[in-house]
Structure 1
Amino acid sequence: MFMTLEIELNGPVATIWMNRPELHNAFDELLIAELTAACIALDADTDIRAVVLAGRGKSFSAGADLNWMKRAANNGVDDNLNDARALAKMLRTLAEMKKPTIARVQGAALGGGMGLAAACDIAVASSKAVFATSEVKFGIIPSAISPYVLRAIGARQATRYFQSAERIDAARAREIGLVHEAVEPEQLDAKVQEIVGALLQGGPLAQAAAKDLIRAVNGQLINETLVEETAHRIAHLRATPEAREGIAAFLDKRSPAWIGE
């Protein structure tokens, strides 16, 4: 049982609902701890194939709870460091889940909320959604979320928005790579389900390996070491029962065993 989250299960798909609508799903120590725990539990659940992260109410997440920030401002460096480590762990746990993850962004995703969207594998936004790295307005920096936002939009765009804290509408977010799709509000859930449907066609071990492959290859020089590593990765995967089943299903013109599980 969670106090700040609701977990909705629909067959092989789990939706994590941040459930503090009166506070625009802003996060504090409890939500950070609970979201970390939820990601760990769902990643370990072999019945779950995909995870959707969503927010109840008008906002996806307005980032850090102002009362939490106020408490942090009155704390010493050690307490602030512990809080920052917990936030960084939560984002990394979400980003490194073996299961595919989708952010369903229906409204404001500000500060850490934008970080949550960027930490998910795929982000789908309503045309009403708005994003910002607003930290500099509070005299701080988007430190914990920076690896995921930089991965999504690159250093050049981040250099602008980390300093200006400008609001980014859904169309602009798609243009700079922050979200994959921007649709009308009434189409949001259908688009999320469309992508979920595509994800469920893939082999779960292969999807986890694909995520790990991207982390290993991205930004690396193409040299003999990298080429050899990629050869080893595909060779090992081809020898797995999942790969044998996938190839056999294709040749037999049938669905592989993981579909419909």
Structure 2
Amino acid sequence: MLHDHTNTFSFISYEVQQRIATVTLNRPEKRNALNGAMVAELQQAFRQAGEDDAVKVIVLKGAGEAFCAGADLEYLRQLQQNTFDENLADSQALMQLMLQIYRHDKVVIAQVEGHAIAGGCGLVTICDLSYAVPEALLGYTEVKIGFIPALVSVFLVRKTGEGRARELLLTGKLIKAAQAATYGLITEVVPKANIDGYVHGIATALCDEAAANSLKVTKQLVGMVLDKPLQEALETAARLNAATREHAECRKGIQAFLNKEKLAW
């Protein structure tokens, strides 16, 4: 079943097919550069996917040559005219989008078929899984224009550790997808000819082989580990464990496992 909401957006496109929502950054002529309107549309699309029971997995990709080249030039020009409060509100909108993706109830997969730079690399950083073509360059170039990779630093330190984060954020260098994979910045490198099918296969397997509640709670577990002292993290994990045992999907899954039945989620 295909729900196509492409017409409701100007800077992105959104469609749902076979329980996979595909969110596409759709400004190929601007290398999918971010501006305030695109950030707002992305928030709307991720909210829509979150509320739609027909969606189990979300794929984020870019139209054309680039995944996302960072902030739009016009947008950067506008930021220079803004007051501090306007810039703070703008930055907080991007913060909300990043948190929304990072904490989303559904698994979010980045399909990176071109360069992901600055804010574009930030989007890749917060996805649960990410697959990039070998030609893709990734990096955070903010310091080179006198800016700072403020929001992404919070997520990158969690993802790659402090050493790698310092290296990438301070040098502003771009690295190839293969190196990004060894850094733990992306999950895997996939040839361009195969990436569509590969990501679709991963998304389909998540839909068919894992319970929606299990994916949601597992994301919560991973997301909260670094926020709590060890004992508190373990107590929270134990409570989530106990609560999950009572969930209908868990009962169904264990029953099928005990009966050696194949279960389609």
Equivalent in the alignment of 2:216: 208
Equivalent in the alignment of 1:109: 116
Q: Is the 8 A contact 1:59 1:109 kept in 2?
A: yes
Q: Which amino acid aligns with 2:241?
A: I
**2:150 equivalent among 143, 147, 161:** 143
- Cα shift at 1:5: 1.0
**CA distance in structure 2 between the aligned counterparts of 1:98 and 1:84, rounded to whole angstroms:** 23
**1:40 equivalent among 47, 52, 57:** 47
**CA distance in structure 1 between the aligned counterparts of 2:124 and 2:150, rounded to whole angstroms:** 15
Equivalent in the alignment of 2:77: 70
- Cα shift at 1:78: 1.2
**2:233 equivalent among 226, 236, 240:** 226
**2:202 equivalent among 181, 195, 198:** 195
Q: Is the 8 A contact 2:140 2:169 kept in 1?
A: yes
Tell me the secondary structure at the aligned position of residue 144 of structure 1.
helix
* 1:235 and 2:235 correspond: no
Q: Percent identity?
A: 33
**CA distance in structure 2 between the aligned counterparts of 1:120 and 1:228, rounded to whole angstroms:** 26
**CA distance in structure 1 between the aligned counterparts of 2:247 and 2:60, rounded to whole angstroms:** 30
Gaps of 5+ in 1: none
TM-score by length of 1: 0.95
Matches within 5 A, 1:160-171: 160-171=167-178
Q: Is the 8 A contact 2:132 2:188 kept in 1?
A: yes
Tell me the secondary structure at the aligned position of residue 151 of structure 2.
coil
TM-score by length of 2: 0.93
Tell me the secondary structure at the aligned position of residue 199 of structure 1.
helix
Equivalent in the alignment of 1:53: 60
**CA distance in structure 2 between the aligned counterparts of 1:158 and 1:151, rounded to whole angstroms:** 9
Which has the higher mean CA deviation after the structures are superposed, 19-28 or 154-163?
Answer: 154-163
- Cα shift at 1:158: 1.2
Q: Which amino acid aligns with 1:230?
A: A
Tell me the secondary structure at the aligned position of residue 61 of structure 2.
strand
Which has the higher mean CA deviation after the structures are superposed, 24-33 or 4-13?
Answer: 4-13
* 1:100 and 2:143 correspond: no
Segments ≥4 residues shifted beyond 6 Å? none
* 1:126 and 2:133 correspond: yes
Equivalent in the alignment of 2:259: 252
Equivalent in the alignment of 2:94: 87
**CA distance in structure 1 between the aligned counterparts of 2:153 and 2:37, rounded to whole angstroms:** 22
Gaps of 5+ in 2: 1-7
**CA distance in structure 1 between the aligned counterparts of 2:111 and 2:156, rounded to whole angstroms:** 16
**CA distance in structure 2 between the aligned counterparts of 1:226 and 1:184, rounded to whole angstroms:** 39
Which has the higher mean CA deviation after the structures are superposed, 124-133 or 141-150?
Answer: 141-150
* 1:182 and 2:189 correspond: yes
- Cα shift at 1:219: 5.8
**CA distance in structure 2 between the aligned counterparts of 1:123 and 1:218, rounded to whole angstroms:** 21
Q: How many corresponding residue pairs?
A: 257
